[in-house]
Structure 1
Amino acid sequence: MIPALKTALFACCLRLSSSPTLGTVAFFHPFADGGGGGERVLWWHFFNTTCISLTLRAHLTVPPPQVVPLANRDLLLPGRYPRFTMIGQALGSVRVAWQGLRQLLPEVWVDTTGWAFPYPLARLAGARVAAYVHYPTISTDMLQRVWDRDALYNNSEEVAACPLKSLAKLAYYHAFALLYGAMGAFAQVVMVNSSWTRRHIVDLWWQWNKPARVYPPCDTRALQALPLDRRLKRVYLLSIAQFRPEKDHAMQLRALAAARRKAAGMHDGGGEAVLAAHLKLVGSCRNAEDEQRIQQLKDLAEELGIGDRVDFCVNASFDELRALLADAVAGLHTMVDEHFGISVVEYMAAGVVPIAHDSAGPREDIVLPEGGPPGSGGGGGGGGGQPTGYLCSTLQQYADAIIEVLGMEQLERMRVAAAARRRAAQFSDQRFQKELMACMEDVLPLGRSRQPTNLLSASQ
């Protein structure tokens, strides 16, 4: 399969420009207008850092970015492929990349999406390839879930319930993982955003050198200025996440309902705080599917009897988000295997106690006790050191954490919030810029030709 793919890619390259445009850096990010954490890293930090570096290296003025429109980016949407979704999207990514490369072939091609299948195309066309992987297209955790026949967003209940279908899907996943790993070998520089992502890329990609872990920058200076002393005039929990299935907002609603049921039997200030609390769901709405998902969540809240306790803040501005973070007591996060978790860092920087899922980025990199060993967990998770938050995986754990945080004495909550803020300060712009440029040093243009043009592959 791989020789045939290389032949097809070589044939595509014959239709591209004869040689790369020297001094040009291109960022492949077809959904640059998505509004997620990856897009924020791309626009505000990755792109700006590279521009500054090029200016210093070449002693030239970097012109404004050029946007290459990609009219066929819908080929990357999972909804186009009811079956064999990953392979369909993978082939779609090659077509999308080819369209961009036909318009302008750069000297350096930087993938910030995680789609590895265009790497051979870019390399054979003459570009140097760097990758910053936020989330692997397939992970060993996904393979394990299919093996264990666990139903989740990437493994339907129909497949999980049938041994034969599970076996067939497992074979498909292993074949895809093998091909995905081979594509990763074409990247000359590989960076990842978290310990969890690095572990999976090490397991899957054919690379001699271990990928560099470069934490995404979180510009939290405005949030760190917020007071830690919350007067609790309005008691509420906050959730910041796009309205996508994997974010599991339904778990948050069920956890609040479970906490309220338990609090109803309590006769203290903590129980009263839980019963008085609201949950504010903050996220972007991208399309009709998101609108339908929001309506389903509203229906679920009514079904659970908490419709009057849940507020939806859709497409909130940064000023609105900052105001909400200023008074929130705790921040909920329920995504399984969140590769990093910028929203969790934002909670911590703002002095909001995080209640995050006990997996991936939050567990391995973010919600670590102050002074304790990595992986020892946050509040309620054991280990030494001052807790910086809570890590949960079950409905009951989330409900108990909500009750504990809302019932906390003010001074104790401020100790946790202060430790969390100090932890969040480690994910700074300065650290990102230093580590990024150390990795990119060998592949960036040297300014030996015309002025560098910064290209962002996106859709207008």
Structure 2
Amino acid sequence: MMLLILKSFITLLSLLATCVLLPQLPLGVLRLVLRAVGWVVQRRSRSRRDYIVSRVRADEEEFSKRAKPSSATTSGDDEEDWEKVDTSSSTSGTAGINGNDEWDGIIGFFHPFCNAGGGGERVLWEAVRATQKRWPKAICAIYTGDHEVNKAAMLERVQNRFNIHLHAPTVVLLYLSTRKYVVSSMYPYMTLLGQSLGSLIVAYDAFSLLVPDIFVDTMGYAFTLAFSKLLFPSVPTAAYVHYPTISTDMLQSLDDQTGLQGVNAGAGKGLKGQVKRKYWVAFAKLYGWVGGHVDVVMCNSSWTSAHIRAIWGPARQSNTYKDPTVIFPPTAVSELESTITVTPETESSRQPLILYIAQFRPEKNHPLVLRSFARFLQERRKRLGETPSPDQEPKLVLIGSVRHASPDETHIYNLRLLAHELRIRDHTTFLCDASWPAILDHLGTASIGVNAMWNEHFGICVVEYQAAGLISVVHDSGGPREDIVIDLGDGATGFRASTEEEFAASFEAALALPEEEKVAMRLRARKSALRFSEEEFSIKWIADIEKLVSLRA
């Protein structure tokens, strides 16, 4: 244990020394030094790579032997989807042209918190599934810090939480020992820079375990991609950006006087605020330089893409693929449509229930939903002139994952206290780490789906609401405003709000709609959700990964 701590400390000092010496060294010399380090790392990890490949091939062979007897008694339609290489799903066609149909390299997915169970994890595992279908012989290595979960338990959770079935033999979990260096609580000051430099330590840990043929960050640690490029120039890199580490909106929020623009609203006042502003501006320039080292950039929404273009764009002008691709996160649209019926006849099965699906984290702004719901109930009672029995009043259900042994547990405890203080405890239900069948059940019976995060980068839960026929009430910002809850030409698909009063009014307006208009809005929303299906995600994901495969070839 002491040896590990000493090793981590030495690594951190080395990285900090590099950062200090960076302005004093010619960039060419620094690149040569880092390339030499990369050569050493690659050489040291070669035996582990050979072992991983041989183990995967042995598991594949064993799996095939077990599958043969059952395949003789089942039709071809019942075979695993992963076995069918879907070359027609690619829009670029580069794989067939370059002879990469049988590509069997290793794709490294950098996702230290892959067991978190949120929207980012759905993207990761859907990306792995799409990759397996396209290249059945490729190995998908996931760098994770979730030591308490083995591969079997991880894949079972993925199946239960997201209904995503993966081919186990070609999935490899590589366990990081340094994940603590990217935890925000470790950096009470200068958190952005601390986590970014900390990610270099975690990336070095990852590369010491295995140097992949293609390196993909699916969690937002862009500094790891630049680090990879400097260590291993021949390894193509890609970023799937859920949320920019810093954005122009964040800088603007420092001057916000309304208190509505996130946790840093109005923080630009005084000497401390000016220091924070200069620090953020300097970090934004560094972040932009980092973005120039990424070969292929994918963004989860128009909002994210616009910010990435603004910050990374100037440094990406010489890149082959300089413009980011917008790839909306995958949502179980097809399953929701086939499972949940939306017709005038099914309207009677909908309850006056407001559903919020979101991880229990501060940025999801659950307190705004609780206060808005309390105001909505209070105003509703005043209008009706009496207090209905609890079973007749609207209910609020909050569903989300909780990272155990983390600040999330304290956060949900405080939310329960707030519900008690607002006197809505009897009307509010908290469901932690709910299974997919449980989520489906609530999506089929709820009437309204809410999302309250300021500048939500996309909003997978909002698409789930739409696909299930719920009427959405979302924060008037970010992806929900620009991509999801929009009028496609045939009418509104939901409501948008920013304040407690607006959310409460939207809850009332949604429930007060005439039945005919309720059904019409539900159907419009469901039609809109088709743009965000798993199939659409897979097609675009494969097209961009094929670019990386071609670069590797």
TM range (shorter): 0.7 to 0.9
- For 1:130, the equivalent position in structure 2 comes to 238
Alignment partner for residue 183 of structure 2, among 74, 77, 85?
Answer: 77
Alpha-carbon contact 1:260-1:275 (below 8 Å) kept? no
Residue of structure 1 in register with 2:95 after alignment: none
For residue 129 of structure 2, the aligned residue among 42, 48, 53 is 48
* Matches of 1:245 and 1:389, distance apart in 2: 24
Q: Deviations over 1:112-170 (max 9, x none)?
A: 1121111222113231111111111111111111244665654277x45x421111000
Equivalent residue for 2:42, pick from 3, 14, 17: 17
Instruction: Give 1:241 deviation, angstroms.
Output: 0.5
Indicate the larger mover: 187-196 or 202-211. 202-211
Count matched residues. 430
Does structure 2 conserve the Cα–Cα contact (< 8 Å) formed by 1:109 and 1:129? yes
Q: Which structure has more helix as a fraction of its residues?
A: 2
Moved more, 281-290 or 105-114: 281-290
Higher mean C-alpha displacement, 221-230 vs 65-74: 221-230
Structure 2 counterparts to residues 81-230 of structure 1, below 5 A: 81-124=187-230, 125=232, 126-148=234-256, 153-155=262-264, 159-160=267-268, 162-205=269-312, 206-208=315-317, 209-225=322-338, 226-228=340-342, 229-230=346-347
The separation in 2 between residues aligned to 1:187 and 1:92, in whole angstroms, is 19
Q: Is the CA contact (8 Å cut-off) linking 2:257 and 2:265 kept in structure 1?
A: no
Q: Does 2:517 align with 1:404?
A: no
8 Å contact kept, 2:262–2:454: no
Structure 1: distance between partners of 2:511 and 2:543: 43
Counterpart residue number, 1:36: 118
Structure 1 portions without partners, runs of 5+: 372-384, 449-460
Q: Which amino acid aligns with 2:132?
A: C
User: After superposition, what is the alpha-carbon deviation per residue over 1:372-416, rounded to whole angstroms, capped at 9, x for unaligned?
Assistant: xxxxxxxxxxxxx31111111111111111001112222211110
Unaligned runs of 5+ in 2: 1-18, 50-103, 140-166
* Residues 252-291 of structure 1 aligned to structure 2 (within 5 Å): 252-267=369-384, 276-288=393-405, 289-291=407-409
CA deviations on 1:187-216 (whole Å, 9 max, x unpaired) are 111111100000010011122222111111
Q: Flag the 1:272–1:213 CA change in 2: closer, same or farther, 3 A.
A: farther
Q: Is the 8 A contact 2:105 2:138 kept in 1?
A: no
Q: 2 CA distance for matches of 1:48 and 1:233? A: 34
Change beyond 3 A, Cα 1:400–1:285: same
CA contact (8 A) 1:107 1:445 kept: no
Q: CA RMSD in A?
A: 2.8
Who is 2:426 aligned against? 308
Q: 2:538 aligns with which of 417, 433, 440?
A: 433
| 1:339 CA drift (Å) | 0.6
Task: Identify which of structures 1 and 2 has the higher relative contact order when contacts are C-alpha pairs closer than 8 Å and 6+ apart.
Answer: 1
Give yes or no for contact 1:116–1:184 (8 Å, CA) kept in 2: yes
Please report the TM-score for the alignment, with normalisation by the length of structure 1: 0.87
Aligned-pair CA distance for 1:173? 0.3
The correspondence of residues 243-258 of structure 1 with structure 2, limited to 5 A, is 243-258=360-375
CA distance in 1, matches of 2:135, 2:455: 35
Select the structure of larger CA radius of gyration.
Answer: 2
- Give the alignment of 1:224-373 within 5 angstroms: 224-225=337-338, 226-228=340-342, 229-232=346-349, 234-267=351-384, 276-288=393-405, 289-371=407-489
Distance in 2 (CA, whole Å) between partners of 1:202 and 1:108 is: 23
